[in-house]
Structure formats: structure tokens, C-alpha cells
Amino acid sequence: MRLWLVWIALELWNFWGVLSLNSDGLSLLAFKAAINSDPKNAFIDWNENDTTPCNWTGVSCMTLVGSSDPRVVGLTVTGKGLEGYIPSELGALVFIRRLNLHGNKLNGSIPIQLFNASALHSIFLYENNLTGPIPVEATRLPRLQNLDLSSNFLSGPIPQEFTKCKQLQRLLLENNFFTGPIPVGLGSNLNGLEQLDLSSNLLNGSIPEDLGNLSSLVGALNLSYNRLSGPIPRALGKLPLTVSLDVRNNNLSGPIPQDGSLANQGPTAFVNNPGLCGFPLKTICKNPVSTPRPPVNFPSPESPSNRRETPTARKGLTTGVIIAISVGDAVGIALVGMLFVYLYWKTRICQANWCSCAGKDKLVGRRMAQCLCGNGETSDTASEKGDQGDLVPIDKGFSFELDELLRASAYVLGKSGLGIVYKVVLGSGIPVAVRRLGEGGAQRFKEFEAEVQAIGRIRHPNIVKLRAYYWAADEKLLIYDFIPNGSLATALHGRSGHSATPLPWAVRLKIIKGMARGLAHLHECSPRKYVHGDIKPTNVLLDGNMHPQISDFGLGRLINIAGSGVAPQQPGGILAGALLPLGKTAVAARGSSFPGGVVRSAVDWPASGGSSHSFVSNYHAPEASIAGHKPTQKWDVYSFGVLLLEILTGRSPAFQLASFDMDLVTWVRKAFEEEHPLSEIVDPTLLQEVYAKKEVLAVFHIALTCVEIDPDLRPKMKNASESLDRIGATS
């Protein structure tokens, strides 16, 4: 009898213990009971004897105004491999704001009663095995901001009622089986929507034009891997420039609009849409040419003769008329062709400056050039004195005598396989950078003169100016503007033994834009479209205002013409006497401020063709390793893309190879594919500049399009530069 009374007492104790748990705790216990497999003991401390669940793992509580007891405001049980279902009792958590159950194996449908919890603003149920449709009740939550149901087995249409969720910021529904069209009105009504991902579903119909009104969107608008059809709306060009569009693997058709942000997208955004055409895809749009219908001539009833067919009308043009027309066409085409040939050779001769256009005792070719070019401006003195040695200014506004150069103080800035570079301060106080080339090749002076004059004519604020040159049998010099702030390599990584001062984002963006403009100018120069061939941080110099200037353009070609291929490695030549003036010591500086900086190898691509070298740097495009291939402008685009990634990440390509067994391009692309946080990719010194996040992502997007493996998928430098200029304030 006593034992029976004891048992009753214990049962009553347990009963009152459970009753002592508040209502929120009872709802959570219903969730625990709905789980039939808990491999990682997610509920190990969920004790039914507690009076409150606020100390349970994954449960967040808060004491609300007007209440003395804490209430559940958050439930987070993620990545635990839970198998079971979501019970309707969770809807009784009237104060819960955040529900996060992602990364489990929950199955069944989403209970309608869950949305009785009207305080919910964030629901994360992605990476489960949920099935069925999205309950329309989800769209009636008054505070809904974040809904992530991606990577489940949900089906049915996307509720049109989502357009009424004015506070919605993230709607992520990718990797399900949703069908039907994209609801019209998402772009018009959801002004605060920052993320929209509807990819990898079975959606059909056209892309709503109002999606272009999503002005708050960041990251990407992903509509890929669906069954969408029709054209790409031009209105999508109104999306922010920092937004990446992804519509690949659909059934879209028609030309790709080049409006606004649409012109900023790479080819991967549009691939596998058989009907799409136009830039940046390889498929060229074929404009249908409508054949005009010949006018119908009705016979006049007043003239009986109009009813009869004449022989000409019946047989067409006579043979004589056809021959006359053919001869006339041939003569016209020949005249036009001769005119084009005339203009072409006139331009070539004038621009290459193979003649001096002044003087009477010149070669026949020079007399012809004088007739074509008119009065030239280049002096013949250099040609006549090529063997004797003379200093020839290229820029008329920058002239000085050779004696002035020889008397000036000179300091060694750097030595490399591309020659020794000195800083020379002229008598006027103007500093210049003087590069010594080889000592041979006197017989190729005319070729050298033509090349150096062509390089000297290039004028752009972001390209180092070649001011003058000196040619003699035993010495060749190039005189450039002196750029005071060193190279980009030094600015990013510092000198040996000294760390670099962190560059703020505004400065980096200014450098990026300036580099793009300078390189685009080289590529678009008329009539010759040049290739730099060796874009890297040491070949980008920074002036006093941190504006970039590209250096070493055409240097490899000039060194080849100069004869030796490699300049002398010891100070000497005509500047040797001026090397140590007034007892001062010459200093060789790493990352020096001269055209080209310190080049650690003798690799340089000629400006106008030439054979490729066996050495390929970390900045060269993959196709550069193929023997016999000549450099192209798309090589420069790839190198520019690598340089952008270096500026954004703060990591040099060589460091990445040594540390991670993968190059910088592969590392960044892999990080984006795996959706690593931006904090793991970007230079840590930029993390404090939160305002620049959108701009950083936009530059990353452009950089990754520049480093596409297929050269045809890379943009032109002109297009890349225009895209960069649209990011942030104009620098």
C-alpha cells in the first residue's frame, strides 16, 4: 500500500513539473517530439522539468514590455541532421521573431499554423527535404523580412501575394520545383528587396519588366536554370550597376539589350539560351532584311495601249544595258578601292613617321611622303646623325641639350634585365627618368626612330610620357617623365623589410579606373591598335596625386632593335661620370619610381608582334604559354583582371601559388562559387569601409569577366573601362 502511494506521489510530482513549464516550453517540446532522429543530440539539455526553455540550446528569450516572464523570440537548430517534421505547435510561439532550422532533414509540408506566430520576421528553412507548396499564409506575416526556403523539394506556384510584403528584404527560393510565372509586381512593390534568387526551378513565362525597379538589390539577380522564355527586358538595365544578372540556361531569345547595367554583364550571365544573340555572346544577331515589295502598276483604263505588254517589259533589261551597268559598277568600285588604298598608305606613312617631310636630298620614299603628309614636324637631324649620336626631343615643349643631361646629378633607381634606370635632375630643376638600352644595332636606327616616334606620339594622362631619346653606336637612352610615388607593387606590398601603408578604397578605385582608361586608350589608338603585353604592378606607376600611369609600353621592341636584347648590368656609359656627384651615393631602390619599376625578369612583349617568350608570369593569360602565339589585346585584358584581383584581395599572384597550390584567379573564383563571405576574400584593410561593399563586389564581377579562360569571353578594355567608370564617384 505504501509503495502504491509513493508511486502516485512521484507521478503527481512529474505531472506538476511538466505543468510548471510555460507555454513556450510546451510548444518547443512538441517540436522535440516531432523529431525521430537526432544524431548530434541537439536536444540534450531540453529538460521538461525546467520552468522555462530559455536556457535550452538554440533557444533565445527576451523579457518584453508589460511582461514579467521571458518569452521565446528565437529558435535556431541548424546543421544537426534532424529527421522529422515541423509541428504546427510552433505557431503558438506568439512572440518568436526568428526561426532557423536550416541544414537538417526535415520533411513533410510547411504547416499553415506556423504563420500564426505573427511576430516572425525571419524564416530560414533551407537545405531540408520539405515538400508541397508555399502556404499563402506566409505572405500575411506583417513583419516578414527574410524568407529562405531554398534547396528543398517545394513545388507549386510562387504566391502572387508576395508583392504585398512591403518589408521583404530577402526572398530566396532557388533549387526547388516551383512552376508557373514569376509574379508580376515584385519590382514595383518591394522597394526594399535586397536579394532575390529564383534559380534552379521550373518557372516559365517571360521575365517581368518591373524587376528592373529593384533599386535596393545587391549581389545578384539570379533567374538561371529555369524555363523562362521571351526577350530580356530593357528595363533590367535600370538595376544597380553593382548587381550581377544571371539568366543562363533558360529559353530566352532576341538581342541582349546594351542598356545601363545590362552592358556591364559578362557572357556567363547569358549562356545556354539558344535564342539569345549579341554582345557579350559570340552569337551575332541577324537583322532580318525585309525585301521591299515591288510596286504594282495598274493599267489605266483610259489608255488601251497600257493593256499590252511590251517586249522590254516582258523580257527585262537588254544585254547591252546590263553590260553597260556592269562596266560602270566595276569602274566605280575600282575608283573607290584606289581611294581607300591611297588614304590607307597616306595614314600609314604619316603616322609611322618614316619620313621627315622636309629637305630636298632625301630618298624617293621620303619625297613621296612629303607630298602625302604635307609639311612634317619631325627633324631629319636624328636620321643624319644616327651614327654620331644626338639627343632628339619628341615633345617640342620639353627640350634640353645633351650637355645639360650629362652635367646633371644622376642616381640609380633600379637595375634589371631591361636596363638600368636613373633619376636625373636637369638644370631647370625638372626630374626625368633615363633608361639605358643596349649598345649595338647601329644599322637599325631608322627602325628604332620609327618605333620610338610612334610611342612618343601616344598621349594620355594614364600613360607615362616618352619625352626624348638618344641614339649612338655605343649608347641608347630613353628619357621619360619622372613619376614620384613609385610603383603600384610598392604601394600594395611595400618595399623589402617595410610594410605598405594601407590604401583606402577611394584611392584603389581611382587607380583601377585610371589603369583601365590608359590601357583602353592603347587598345583603341588609331590607326594602330597596340598591345602592351606586360601589364603588372611594377609597370603601373603612381604620381603625386596617386593617379596611375602605365609604363614600359613598347620597351621590349626597342630593346630588341637596340641590338643587345639585355642592357648592361653595371652603371656606365655616358652617365657614368655623373653617377656620384658631390659625394652622394647612388641608391638602388626596390619598387622604384621610374617607367617600368624593377622588372625581375627579362620578359617583355613587343608592342607590334614578335615571338613569345618561354617564361610566363602570373599575370599572363593562359594562352601565353602556347609557343608561337603572338600577344593580343585579350592578353592585356586578362593581365588587367589579375591586377584587379590583387588590388581587391591584397594578395600577390605569386603568394597564392606558394601558399595554396592554386593561382589567385582560381582561388577567388572558387571562393565566389562556394559563396564565401566577402571578409574572407577582400583585403582585410578594406573591411572597415562598409560603405564600399557594393563597389568592391562590382569590381570583383568585372575582374572575373576579364580573367575568363576563353579569350573570346573577355570584354574589350574599352567596355571594361566604361563599366568601371560607372562605379562610385568619377575619379
Contact 100, 90 (CB under 8 A): no
The β-bridge partners of 170 are 146, 195
Phi, psi dihedral angles at 722 (to 5 degrees):
-65, -40
Q: Which residue among the candidates 534, 543, 552, 683 is catalytic per the annotation?
A: 534
Contact 551, 419 (CB under 8 A): no
How many degrees, rounded to 5, is the angle at CA 11 between CA 6 and CA 15?
A: 145
| Three-state secondary structure string covering 2-25 | HHHHHHHHHHHHHHHHHHHCCHHH
Among 361, 422, 386, CA closest to 589 = 422
**Residue 195 to residue 205: CA distance in whole angstroms:** 21
- C-alpha to C-alpha distances, 503 to 352, 500, 549, 642, nearest whole angstrom: 40, 8, 17, 18
How many degrees, rounded to 5, is the angle at CA 473 between CA 454 and CA 353?
A: 20
Helix (H/G/I), strand (E/B), else coil: 115? helix
Handedness of CA 17, 22, 27, 29 (dihedral sign): negative
How many degrees, rounded to 5, is the angle at CA 677 between CA 676 and CA 681?
A: 80
DSSP 535-586: --GGGEEE-TT--EEE--TTHHHHHHHHSSSS--SSS-GGGGGGSSGGGPPP
Handedness of CA 263, 265, 266, 271 (dihedral sign): negative
Establish how many alpha carbons lie within 13 A of residue 3's alpha carbon, considering only the half-sphere containing its beta carbon: 0
235: amino acid identity, one letter: A
Helix (H) or strand (E) holding 74: strand 70-76
Q: Which residue has the cell 648592361?
A: 568
Helix (H/G/I), strand (E/B), else coil: 701? helix
Contact 691, 218 (CB under 8 A): no
Which value, in Å, is the radius of gyration of the alpha carbons in the chain? Answer: 36
- C-alpha to C-alpha distances, 555 to 447, 534, 561, nearest whole angstrom: 14, 10, 10
Helix (H/G/I), strand (E/B), else coil: 171? strand
- Please say if 390 is a catalytic residue: no
CB atoms < 10 A from the CB of 111, how many? 18
- C-alpha to C-alpha distances, 339 to 151, 156, 348, 375, 449, nearest whole angstrom: 65, 67, 14, 22, 29
| Three-state secondary structure string covering 429-471 | CCEEEEEECCCCCHHHHHHHHHHHHHHHCCCCCCECCEEEEEE
Q: Which residue has the cell 515538400?
A: 131
The β-bridge partners of 505 are none
Contact 392, 471 (CB under 8 A): yes
**Residue 144 to residue 118: CA distance in whole angstroms:** 9
- C-alpha to C-alpha distances, 14 to 9, 27, 366, nearest whole angstrom: 9, 18, 111
DSSP state of 487: B
- C-alpha to C-alpha distances, 294 to 2, 93, 265, 288, 291, nearest whole angstrom: 116, 77, 43, 18, 9
**Residue 15 to residue 10: CA distance in whole angstroms:** 9
Residue 401: partners with Cβ closer than 8 Å, 6 or more residues away: 391
141: amino acid identity, one letter: L
**Residue 173 to residue 189: CA distance in whole angstroms:** 18
Q: Which residue has the cell 529593384?
A: 214
Tell me how far the alpha carbon of residue 191 is from its chain's centroid: 27
> What residues are labeled active site?
534
